[in-house]
Structure 1
Amino acid sequence: MTTRETPSTEANPRSGDPRKRAAAKVLDPIRDLKLSPEVHAYLVDRGIPLPDCPPAVKTPEPRDVAGAAFDFERVDKVLAAFKALTHVSGRWAGKPLNPDPWQVAYIIAPTFGWVRWDDEAEGYVRIIRDLYVDVPRKNGKSTISSGIALYMACADGEQGAQVVTAATGKEQAKFVFSPIKTLAEKAPALKGRVKAYAEKVIHLRSASTIIPVSSVADAQHGANIHCSIVDELHVHKTPDLVETIETGRGSRTQPLSVIITTADSGKPGTIYDRKRRYIDRLAAGTIRDEHTYGVVWAADKNDPPFAVSTMRKANPGYGISPSAAYLKAEAKKAANDPAALAAFQRLHLGLRTKQTARYIDLATWRANAGDPINEADLAGRMAYGGLDLASTSDLTALCWLLPRDDDGFDALWRMWVPEDALADLNTRTAGEAMVWLGRGWLRTTPGNVTDYAYVRQSMNEDADLFDVQSVAFDRWNASQLTIDLTDDGFQMVKLGQGFASMSAPLKECKRLLMTGQKSGVPMVRHGGNDVMTWMTDNLAVATDAAGNVKPDKANAADKIDGWSAFVNAMSEAMAGTAPKKSAYEDTGLRVV
């Protein structure tokens, strides 16, 4: 690899930032600024000031991937390519386009610096293939996306690279493409090397192109994409265009898909919501994907919206772009017009204004993990069960709650998925489902539907180990399995899944978990069950006018069957010991 001169911070028109850097006050830049040791070392070695604006959300860098290495020269090369471009308007017109320290530290260096050997390519390739940047308006999104697009077409060493800029309509696509075209036309270093047309930029030596696309048909035409830039993801009403672009890069050895967006209002189920939650899960550690990297800048919901400290936190370019005066003016408008407040919070503070808060925080859940559970140590203990049969082609979950003398519980889950549905679940969980299977958190049954014979056998084996009192299940999901289990001697309890039946046990689950976090003694010891950690992150809760709650599968991010089973089991545990006779002897199954 050829070493290029590192752009001088003195030449950066933004380096004269009048703000007093908070970095000098930070005791641990790796912890407090969320920098990896490798990126921190790069910044120090190259004389780039440490940023003072860590993102609210940052996914792990792929530093633990087998064979991973951080290549300083790769980052140098990208920065040199940016430096070859020049600002085309405003007070910096004609000056080199040097990325700000925060853009280097959190976007460029992690994305382009991490590499590993690839036998097929016979060389080192980038590890990160999907970059997600979520930042409020006026923080230089178009500048950095334009620089990346031109680098990927003109300097990445890829012959015939196809770079696309994607938006939801032709005019918006041209709007995204226009800064790229202008930079290509005005950069002295690209003179004679590129041809810029109304809807295409061509790098002559490599025959690489940059074009705008606004439809699936556009994206599919000759699709062999090396890089894509998706602008303002939240305005995409369907996932079709984004998914078509991402599936059109299979023949490239180190493709890169870039999403640079502002926040949406919090509407569930959209392509923005799916991508954003994926990044949140990666950052929380509930799933792993070394090929995806993302950063999100946003204020906290409880931050005073018009405070300078809040605007600094959400806007990494504060004081430069956007200017302090601009944000102050926008804040004043929002303060004087309550109807404008939500727009200000979303566009300038990065807040998803209508998003429902997580019912159980992951920190609370993890604080109750306790020591790993050895089931043999639980032999003979009283147990209450909750069964969620769901669909025969989907997850089935069983929860056992075993009361302790301190009013807490030890909790076990059994979860089954049809073998034919495992691949889809594995895809949705970024490969974690196969890990869960190997660790015993998840089990499979043959075919494309859950074979309840496996569930029945497992429950009978558990009944030989525990003193099972009763098992609650959704009364609308009664099946032959529940009849068979009753014949086996289980007391099966039909439980309604509405607010009246679900609210008290769900609230008790939350109370115990929060008590465990506060006291340091796990009150629902789950042993760090990975599937339940994922489902806790997915959990959505519906609330009625009286403040009653229940699990809400319709609006959950993904599966929450384990939580439904948990709440069912808690209902029985709260009811206490039930008579141990067949539920059919008198009045049939007990109904709640």
Structure 2
Amino acid sequence: MLRDEISVCRLTRLAVERHYRDLAHGGARGLVFRLDMASHVLSFFPRFCRHSKGEWAGKPVDLADWQAFWLAVEFGWYNTTGKRRFRTWYEEVARKNGKSTKLAGLGIYLFAADGEPGAEVYTAATKLEQAKITHNEAQMMVGQSPALRQLVTAQHEKLFIAGTSCKYVPLGADANTSDGLNVHGAIIDELHAHPNRLLWDVIDSGRGSRRNSLMHAITTAGFDQEGSICLEQRQYLISILEGTLEDDSFGGVIYTLDPEDEWRDESAWCKANPNLGVSVFLDELRSQARKAAGVPAAQFNFLTKRLNLWTQQIDAWLSLDAWDKGSEAFEESLLLDRPCFGGLDLASTTDLTAWILVFPPCPRDPHWRVVCRFFVPEDNMPLRERKDRVPYQLWAQQGHIIATPGNVVDQEMIRQQILADADVYDLREVAFDEWNSAKLATELGEAGILMVKIPQNFGGLSTPTKHLEGLVLAGRLMHAGNPVLRWNAGNVVLLRDTNDNYRPNKKKSRDRIDGIVALCMALNRALFGGEDEMEPGIILL
């Protein structure tokens, strides 16, 4: 991969580079790569594991090179204290790339060959019946292996080793077995399907007393863009790979296309399908791609499941792959001498408030730049996390959300922030929705800011909505990857009329879109405002 002999995406390459960088410098952090432990897990598969289905049934499991590489990385790294380095592993790859066989062997290894007394290993899913389906692959693998049949006993869809307390069992979030776990290993398949983090947290909290516990999650991409536990873990891994976070206990790899790749380009498909030519076949992908080109629903399924691209629901608006092209960070201080326009979407009492600044292009910079301020009442953050299923408290810690005191929107704090931004930037106008904002708009107008009421209809929002769409598709909207705004962008569903006007639809959108509405209002003024002779105060359009 590092010699560019294999085509991989940026995220895969970053994961490989991390391993080789740690080989060179990890010793300074107390890390050591043990070839004996890597070899132990790799030799286990062909020696003890047998395929249970298809043309390979009964034959030894010979790992593909890419599978062997990542298992060696996952199991070969240790701390100098003798503890396994990686306690959590996140792996993302398209369907049909040998996940089930690998997971079955991995679970059996943790259960029977990892040298852990009384090892408790779980195949976890949102429902017990789903966990049993995944777990059944491990049972069939045991049945195909003469050596494992002598060691392992199967009873009631659970695996045991006689004379020990080792067990390997399916676990569902709907079962009554989630308390009192003592987890050595957890295999979590299709993490994208988990609607919340409850099972993840139960398993995670149940492995504190285990010295070398491992939580291994593997998934394809999904349709959910709402900040699920899967996207949380995915983003956490990306932050580590990109060097913005440090966590030697968290590892993984993501196989997907790069944002600039055209999904119809066959040469890019191998980036999401490392098993291409083994368990994934080009003719099959071509057939599905032809259907995807003509059927929107099939296209979303092909992108998500066969090319491992996170997509939105079919009636959603913005492509997050296109959105992410504007994620490059920039210093806000570079915007000090540029005119800007604000958009304010004020929450009712307990929700998310968005204050967005838009900086149009200038001669030295062809991009539109966005600065975001989001506000949430501090006391309501835990409730909002449970309701909206996004990490408000983490975002606040990272500086992406401003936590206001109390349990209701603090309009005074928002007013002070807007005035502070007006002192720093060349703020020409502020667009606002009159609903719930009349008092704050009046106060800001009296303070010398030109406030412009934007009607929440096609007349007020259609043109800036279309302009925003064009900027995103052209890669000209730079938002520094703000995760709150990205979450909002993925939630937007449009309201359209018969004249092909459209605007964000709060009622139909899957979740909060306040940042995008505020952005559209700011774009309204950037496109149609900016008259120097207009006096401060409130203007009604």
Instruction: Report the TM-score when normalising by structure 1.
Output: 0.70
Q: Does 1:566 pair with 2:535?
A: no
CA 1:329 to 1:554, structure 2 compared with 1: closer, same or farther past 3 Å? same
Does structure 2 conserve the Cα–Cα contact (< 8 Å) formed by 1:173 and 1:213? yes
Task: Look up the SS of the partner of 2:216 in the other structure.
Answer: strand
Percent identity of the aligned residues? Answer: 29
CA 1:209 to 1:409, structure 2 compared with 1: closer, same or farther past 3 Å? closer
Greater Rg by CA: 1
Letter in 2 for 1:452: Q
The equivalent residue for 1:458 is 417
Q: Which whole-Å deviations, capped at 9, do the CAs of 1:394-442 have from their partners, x for residues lacking one?
A: 44332344667638766544443333356677994598535533xxx65
C-alpha displacement of 1:471: 1.8
Letter in 2 for 1:389: L
CA distance in 2, matches of 1:340, 1:408: 33
Unpaired stretches in structure 1, ≥5 consecutive residues: 1-21, 44-61, 518-523, 584-588
For residue 433 of structure 2, the aligned residue among 456, 464, 474 is 474
Q: Where does 1:373-384 land on structure 2 (aligned, <5 Å)?
A: 373=333, 377-378=336-337, 383-384=340-341
For residue 176 of structure 1, the aligned residue among 134, 143, 150 is 134
CA distance in 2, matches of 1:238, 1:432: 16
Q: Does 1:99 pair with 2:67?
A: no
Q: Does 1:26 pair with 2:8?
A: no
Aligned length: 523
Q: Where does 1:505-544 land on structure 2 (aligned, <5 Å)?
A: 505-509=464-468, 511=470, 517=476, 528=480, 530=482, 534=486, 538=490, 540=492, 542=494, 544=496
Q: Does 1:497 pair with 2:430?
A: no
Task: Look up the SS of the partner of 2:83 in the other structure.
Answer: strand
Task: Look up the SS of the partner of 1:84 in the other structure.
Answer: helix
The equivalent residue for 1:196 is 154
CA 1:185 to 1:358, structure 2 compared with 1: closer, same or farther past 3 Å? same
For residue 36 of structure 1, the aligned residue among 9, 16, 19 is 16
CA distance in 2, matches of 1:422, 1:532: 14
CA distance in 2, matches of 1:415, 1:591: 25
CA distance in 2, matches of 1:109, 1:230: 19
Letter in 2 for 1:37: E
Task: Look up the SS of the partner of 1:500 in the other structure.
Answer: helix
Q: Where does 1:94-493 land on structure 2 (aligned, <5 Å)?
A: 95-105=59-69, 107-116=70-79, 123-137=82-96, 139-167=97-125, 172-190=130-148, 192-204=150-162, 207-220=165-178, 222-232=180-190, 244-246=202-204, 248-262=206-220, 266=223, 275-276=230-231, 279=234, 282-283=237-238, 290=247, 291=250, 293-297=252-256, 302-304=262-264, 314-322=272-280, 327=284, 348=306, 350=308, 355=314, 356=316, 357-358=318-319, 361-362=322-323, 364-366=325-327, 370-373=330-333, 377-378=336-337, 383-401=340-358, 406=363, 412-421=371-380, 428-429=390-391, 433=395, 436-437=398-399, 442-465=401-424, 468-493=427-452
CA distance in 2, matches of 1:514, 1:332: 22
CA distance in 2, matches of 1:67, 1:112: 16
Task: Look up the SS of the partner of 1:220 in the other structure.
Answer: coil
Task: Look up the SS of the partner of 1:225 in the other structure.
Answer: coil
Does structure 1 conserve the Cα–Cα contact (< 8 Å) formed by 2:415 and 2:444? yes
CA 1:245 to 1:550, structure 2 compared with 1: closer, same or farther past 3 Å? farther
Does structure 1 conserve the Cα–Cα contact (< 8 Å) formed by 2:339 and 2:426? yes
Letter in 2 for 1:458: Q
CA 1:395 to 1:445, structure 2 compared with 1: closer, same or farther past 3 Å? same
Q: Which whole-Å deviations, capped at 9, do the CAs of 1:263-299 have from their partners, x for residues lacking one?
A: 55x366596xx62575268548698584363524579
Unpaired stretches in structure 2, ≥5 consecutive residues: none
Does structure 2 conserve the Cα–Cα contact (< 8 Å) formed by 1:383 and 1:469? yes
C-alpha displacement of 1:149: 0.6
C-alpha displacement of 1:144: 0.5
Task: Please report the RMSD computed on the Cα atoms of aligned residues, expressed in angstroms.
Answer: 4.9
Q: Does 1:75 pair with 2:38?
A: yes
